[in-house]
């Protein structure tokens, strides 16, 4: 089977199921080591080094105009001649959407099977893993992988279930502040916290700095989508200055935890288990000293 994956989480899933040898093309943002060196079939139109508020403005403008944030290389797709294309319908900001895929395949005169993934909760992520496994003849490997991931989740849940639960604000963008949605509030709960602004299964949403201040978090978690820890820390100064404008004493006793937003939290695949474990260690460092 010849597989093209158009998003990092799908590439992670394919590699975890032993399908790296069947991948023939990946997206510009896929970074699974087993898929390194494969042709990149997408390109982003958003400059990644621009200031955060400019990236946000460019994204909102493109979405308002119905313009795509990505370019899908139809000619390269034709040359790769995939039997299966893995895509998504969850977020037009994070990866190529269904509409662009359909247009590119028509342009390339291709008719492969297209598997669209759009999980919104952790259980739906696990079902997507099983779906990829069933579609590619790796159902047993998928069941094994899901069982391993569920065991890791259960270990964290059992460790935190009897402890006090800090109030958590989870941000996936800083300028402007955007709180994480979908599976991320669920991860906060499993990690032993209470997400005071996010809603399980609901999309991420923009909030104001006043909203952050009024929520009085014990822990402010930051995992900017597509940003490394270092890049996110650069933006913390913007957030801190804005918060102090509204409440000079903030954050007071609030702890701040910054995570890698490239590989963690933004990928509905195997790396969510890593995300959960890191989040639990940040919320309850004494319980997760290892």
Burial 214-226 (b: 16+ CB within 10 A, else e): ebebbbbbbbbbb
Average pLDDT over residues 237-247: 62
- pLDDT for 123 beyond 90: yes
Q: Which pLDDT score is estimated for 245?
A: 52
Q: For 72-109, how does the pLDDT look when each residue is reduced to its tens digit (9 = 90+)?
A: 888 999 999 999 999 988 766 666 777 788 888 888 88
Per the CB < 8 A criterion, the answer to whether 119 and 183 are in contact is: yes
- Report the interhelical angle of 8-16 vs 122-135 (nearest 10°): 60
Answer with the residue of higher pLDDT: 148 or 94. 148
Q: Please give the model's pTM, rounded to 2 decimal places.
A: 0.90
Q: What angle do CA 214, 216, 218 make, to 5 degrees?
A: 160
Q: Which pLDDT score is estimated for 283?
A: 96
Q: Which pLDDT score is estimated for 244?
A: 53
Per the CB < 8 A criterion, the answer to whether 189 and 158 are in contact is: no
* Cα–Cα dist 9/31, whole Å: 10
* Cα–Cα dist 3/80, whole Å: 9
Specify the range with the lowest mean pLDDT, choosing from 4-18, 46-60, 144-158, 274-288.
Answer: 46-60
Q: Which pLDDT score is estimated for 285?
A: 93
Average pLDDT, rounded, for the chain: 90
Residue 249: which pLDDT band, with cuts at 50, 70 and 90?
very low
* Cα–Cα dist 198/184, whole Å: 8
User: What domains does the chain contain, in order, with CATH numbers?
Assistant: 3-118 (3.40.50.1980), 162-283 (3.40.50.1980)
Torsion, CA 229, CA 230, CA 231, CA 233, rounded to 10: 80
Q: Which pLDDT score is estimated for 252?
A: 58
Residue 56: which pLDDT band, with cuts at 50, 70 and 90?
confident
CA distances from 280 to 52, 66, 211 (A): 27, 38, 24
Residue 200: which pLDDT band, with cuts at 50, 70 and 90?
very high
């Amino acid at each position: 089977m010849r597989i093209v994956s158009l998003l990092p989480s799908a590439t992670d899933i394919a590699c975890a199921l032993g399908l790296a040898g069947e991948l023939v093309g990946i997206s510009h943002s896929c970074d699974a080591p087993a898929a390194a060196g494969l042709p990149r079939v997408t390109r982003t139109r958003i400059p990644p080094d621009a200031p955060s508020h400019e990236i946000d403005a460019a994204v909102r403008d493109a979405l308002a105009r119905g313009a795509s944030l990505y370019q899908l290389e139809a000619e390269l797709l034709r040359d790769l001649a995939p039997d299966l294309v893995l895509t998504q319908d969850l977020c037009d900001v994070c990866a190529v959407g269904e509409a662009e895929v359909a247009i590119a395949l028509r342009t390339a005169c291709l008719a492969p099977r297209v598997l669209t993934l759009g999980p919104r909760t952790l259980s739906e992520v696990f079902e997507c893993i099983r779906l990829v496994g069933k579609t590619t003849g790796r159902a047993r490997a998928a069941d094994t992988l899901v069982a391993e991931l569920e065991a890791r989740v259960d270990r964290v849940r059992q460790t935190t279930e009897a402890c006090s639960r800090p109030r958590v604000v989870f941000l996936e963008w800083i300028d402007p502040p955007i709180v994480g949605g979908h599976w991320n509030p669920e991860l906060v709960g499993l990690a032993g916290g209470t997400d005071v602004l996010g809603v399980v299964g609901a999309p991420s949403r923009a909030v104001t700095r006043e909203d952050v201040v009024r929520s009085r978090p014990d822990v402010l978690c930051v995992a900017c989508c597509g940003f490394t820890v270092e890049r996110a820390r650069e933006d913390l100064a913007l957030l801190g200055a804005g918060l102090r404008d509204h409440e000079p004493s903030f954050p007071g006793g609030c702890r701040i935890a910054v995570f890698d937003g490239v590989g963690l939290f933004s990928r509905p695949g195997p790396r969510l288990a890593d995300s959960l474990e890191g989040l639990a260690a940040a919320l309850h460092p004494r319980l997760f000293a290892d």
